[in-house]
């Protein structure tokens, strides 16, 4: 579990309170006075639940409810009463349902391991040519994020995320440094620095989540990049994300994955993202919402 401040509301839900009136977010009766902090831009203290793992041999022993009760108890000790989490399965009741999209960076390998397959009337050479990317990024002023960029990145992120109805509120420079400072095979963050003012105007980031390939003689690992937070203020979002694909390919990633949240749907078709067969449900614990959010209203990425 990771402590975080999540803004539930904003936009059409900016009048959210713990009362049952209006069209906003509604407490379920067991929330504390913290529920009022969902108003405006203050956000609500929550934890992000990242993993709930039970060994295969123990999955019929009903250990999941025990683990959920225990993590709830521990979180409550810190006076936090709400949580956000995601799952690939539907349980009552999602606040948003999103879809995964995939962009091939190494089509030959993806076909060989069974991740994707050749389309009708397509050859391997034509598929490789179709997914060919430029040799280097095209955005002027694009560079890796540095430690000294963190204060500007904090302001940039919170300003951008304020337009979404479910979003993280980053609280400090230290938090930005932890989540965004580039680390090979973990997180890749690039910023656009204005030549005139020297200010950070745009941001592009993705994280690494590789998978083990079982039963293939030639390939042992699938290197997958996942879109994180991307902000295009002075450049075209499509161009910025094409540069993200180029950077991922230069770092030997095989596939670039993205959810259709935030503004991601704007570039997916043009950049040849293919629709995945999996959905991701967003959930809030001990906090309910009257109307499910569209993916474009979600500005929260859980690592």
Does residue 93 have a cis peptide bond before it, meaning omega lies within 30 degrees of 0? Answer: yes
Distances (CA, A) of 260 to 65, 131, 231, 268, 281: 31, 20, 15, 8, 12
**In angstroms, rounded to a whole number, what is the distance separating the alpha carbons of residues 5 and 172?**
11
Which candidate, 178, 245, 175, 256, places its Cα nearest to that of 222? 256
Catalytic residue status for 302: no
Catalytic residue from among 67, 130, 250, 303:
303
**In angstroms, rounded to a whole number, what is the distance separating the alpha carbons of residues 239 and 137?**
9
φ, ψ dihedrals at 182, nearest 5°:
-60, 135
DSSP state of 108: H
Distances (CA, A) of 178 to 172, 183, 287: 10, 10, 28
Cβ atoms 227, 258 nearer than 8 A = yes
Q: Catalytic positions, please? A: 303
């Amino acid at each position: 579990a990771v402590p975080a401040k999540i803004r539930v509301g904003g936009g059409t839900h900016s009048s959210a309170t713990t009362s049952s009136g209006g069209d906003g977010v509604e407490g379920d009766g067991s929330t504390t006075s913290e529920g009022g902090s969902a108003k405006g831009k203050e956000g609500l203290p929550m934890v992000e639940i990242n993993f709930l793992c039970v060994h295969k041999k123990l999955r019929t022993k009903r250990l999941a409810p025990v683990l959920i009760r225990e993590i709830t108890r521990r979180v409550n000790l810190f006076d936090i009463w709400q949580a956000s989490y995601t799952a690939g399965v539907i349980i009552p009741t999602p606040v948003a349902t999103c879809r995964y999209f995939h962009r091939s960076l190494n089509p030959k390998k993806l076909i060989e391991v069974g991740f994707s397959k050749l389309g009708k009337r397509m050859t391997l050479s034509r598929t490789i040519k179709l997914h060919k990317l430029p040799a280097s990024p095209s955005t002027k002023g694009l560079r890796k994020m540095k430690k000294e960029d963190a204060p500007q990145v904090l302001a940039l992120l919170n300003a951008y995320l304020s337009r979404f109805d479910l979003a993280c509120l980053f609280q400090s420079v230290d938090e930005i440094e932890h989540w965004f400072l580039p680390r090979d095979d973990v997180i890749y963050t690039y910023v656009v620095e204005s030549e005139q003012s020297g200010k950070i105007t745009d941001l592009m980031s993705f994280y690494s989540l590789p998978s083990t390939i079982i039963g293939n003689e030639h390939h042992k690992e699938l290197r997958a990049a996942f879109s994180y937070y991307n902000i295009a203020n002075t450049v075209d979002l499509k161009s910025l994300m094409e540069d993200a694909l180029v950077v991922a390919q230069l770092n030997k990633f095989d596939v670039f994955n993205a959810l259709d949240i935030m503004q991601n749907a704007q570039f997916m078709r043009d950049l040849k993202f293919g629709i995945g067969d999996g959905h991701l449900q967003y959930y809030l614990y001990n906090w309910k919402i009257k109307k499910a959010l569209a993916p474009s209203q979600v500005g929260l990425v859980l690592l």
